[in-house]
């Protein structure tokens, strides 16, 4: 079994793969310096949804040849850039969650592959030294129908991913998902490619943390649901139309999928409560 086949098998079964040092040291240093520059006047912890697209100094990462080769090995030929991207400094997610449109297992079109396969992935790129202690926890197999535990265990797992469960851990309760997760310690240039439906969270850490996130996918109903969700339905995130110069670069690289608002509602789509928005705003 060659390396690409091995990676694809793990991605299909577990929902994520870890690729060490995929970004070159010069790239890592350049993007880290750009994030530090953006930090001027911001809090110590912040995130910019759609930040890679909104700041041209990060556009090159969308065309990184090593990342694109890894994406092709996992998704196959014909993948496109998917506008779901973020910039993070000092930020770690505050609860277990999925990045997909439909975040409750089995509810909504993300979990129905009878007519089109779900072939989307996110790329998380980390720039900080591993000595800071940040780890990304991912619960393997939580991304695909047929790979989940029994109904009772699944219902328990889903309850453990909510904000109430997180609040209980903050006052000394046990985090049951932490024992099931694989915890990946990240270093400069490391990339984690994962299915958006995989349950994951960041750890506590000391020191600095810098990361970029992008996404790619095969064009089908899942791709356009995901695009419309972040571009239009999640108005709280402030996504914008792509800059014409970025569109030109994406077209030239055959990565542009077009921009069209095709849906006004997606059954089972997760939309944040006022409480969630208020808590999330603390990290911007």
Phi, psi of 122, rounded to the nearest 5 degrees: -105, 150
8-state DSSP, 243: P
In a domain, 276, yes or no: no
Residue 275 lies in a domain: no
Which domain, by its residues, includes 25?
3-259
- Cβ neighbours, 10 Å, residue 114: 6
Position 53 in a domain: yes
Is there a domain that residue 213 lies in? yes
In a domain, 70, yes or no: yes
Length of the chain: 284
Q: What is the pLDDT of residue 261?
A: 86
| Cα 98 from Cα 82, distance rounded (Å) | 17
- Radius of gyration of the chain measured on its C-alpha atoms: 18
Mean pLDDT over all residues of the chain? 88
Q: What is the DSSP letter of 203?
A: P
> What burial letters (b/e) apply to 206-237, b meaning 16+ CB within 10 Å?
eebbbbbbbbbbbbeebbbbbbbbbbebbeeb
Residue 154's pLDDT is 53
DSSP 97: B
Question: Span 5-11, mean pLDDT?
Answer: 93
DSSP state for residue 15 in the 8-state scheme:
S
SS3 181: coil
Angle, CA 188 vertex, CA 134 and CA 38 arms, to 5°:
85
pLDDT digits (tens, 9 = 90+) for 99-136: 999 999 889 999 999 999 999 999 999 999 998 899 99
Does residue 201 fall inside a structural domain? yes
153-210 pLDDT tens trace: 555 566 555 544 444 344 344 577 899 999 999 999 999 999 999 999 999 898 899 9
Res 165: pLDDT: 44
High-pLDDT (> 90) share of the chain, %: 73
pLDDT at 247 over 80: yes
Structure tokens at 177: 């998902």
Tell me how far apart the alpha carbons of residues 250 and 51 are, in angstroms, rounded to a whole number.
17
d(CA 119, CA 125): 20
Residue 21 lies in a domain: yes
Structure confidence at residue 119 (pLDDT):
98
Q: What is the pLDDT of residues 34-92, one digit of tens each?
A: 999 999 999 989 999 999 999 999 999 999 999 999 999 999 999 999 999 999 999 88
282 in a domain, yes or no? no
Instruction: Say how many C-beta atoms besides its own lie within 10 A of residue 73's C-beta.
Output: 18
The CATH number of whichever domain residue 52 belongs to comes to: 2.60.120.620
Our count of domains for the chain comes to 1
């Amino acid at each position: 079994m060659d390396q690409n086949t091995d990676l694809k098998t793990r991605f299909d079964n577990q929902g994520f793969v870890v690729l060490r040092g995929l970004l070159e040291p010069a790239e890592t240093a350049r993007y880290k310096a750009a994030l530090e520059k953006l930090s001027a006047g911001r809090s110590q912890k912040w995130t910019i949804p759609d930040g890679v697209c909104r700041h041209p100094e990060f556009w090159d990462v969308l065309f990184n040849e090593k990342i694109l080769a890894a994406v092709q090995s996992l998704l196959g030929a014909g993948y496109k850039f998917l506008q779901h991207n973020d910039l993070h400094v000092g930020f770690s997610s505050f609860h277990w969650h999925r990045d997909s449109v439909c975040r409750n297992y089995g509810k909504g079109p993300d979990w129905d592959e009878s007519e089109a396969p779900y072939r989307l992935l996110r790329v998380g790129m980390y720039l900080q030294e591993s000595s800071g202690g940040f780890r990304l926890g991912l619960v393997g197999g939580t991304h695909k129908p047929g790979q989940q535990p029994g109904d009772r265990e699944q219902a328990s797992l889903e309850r453990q991913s909510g904000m109430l469960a997180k609040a209980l851990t903050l006052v000394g309760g046990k985090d049951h998902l932490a024992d099931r997760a694989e915890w990946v310690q990240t270093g400069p240039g490391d990339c984690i490619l994962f299915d958006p439906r995989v349950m994951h969270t960041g750890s506590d850490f000391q020191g600095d943390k810098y990361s970029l996130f992008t996404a790619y996918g095969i064009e089908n109903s899942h791709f356009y649901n995901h695009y419309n969700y972040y571009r239009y339905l999640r108005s709280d995130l402030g996504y914008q139309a792509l800059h014409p110069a970025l569109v030109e670069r994406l077209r030239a690289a055959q990565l542009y999928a077009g921009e069209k608002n095709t849906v006004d509602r997606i059954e089972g789509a997760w939309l944040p409560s006022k409480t969630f928005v208020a808590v999330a705003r603390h990290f911007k």
